[in-house]
Amino acid sequence: MRKYLFSAGLALLVAATSVSVTAVVQPAFAAEIKYVVNGIPITTGDIAH
């Protein structure tokens, strides 16, 4: 029973860590927005194309 609880706790910790890392990485994409035209964000990738 202890091994099961330990494994479940460890899996939950890994899942929570990956979610928090993903949440931190996403604002970097928002920093690439250069302009907003009629409510549509224009990114550096759009400008390059």
Which helix (H) or strand (E) segment holds residue 41: the answer is strand 40-43
Higher pLDDT: 5 or 27? It is 5
Terminal-residue alpha carbon distance, the chain: 57
Express as a percent the part of the chain with pLDDT over 90: 0
Task: State the Cα angle at 14 between 10 and 20, rounded to 5°.
Answer: 140
Residues 19-28 have pLDDT tens digits of: 554 555 555 5
Higher pLDDT: 40 or 20? It is 40
Prediction pTM value: 0.37
Structure confidence at residue 43 (pLDDT): 81
pLDDT of 39 strictly over 80: yes
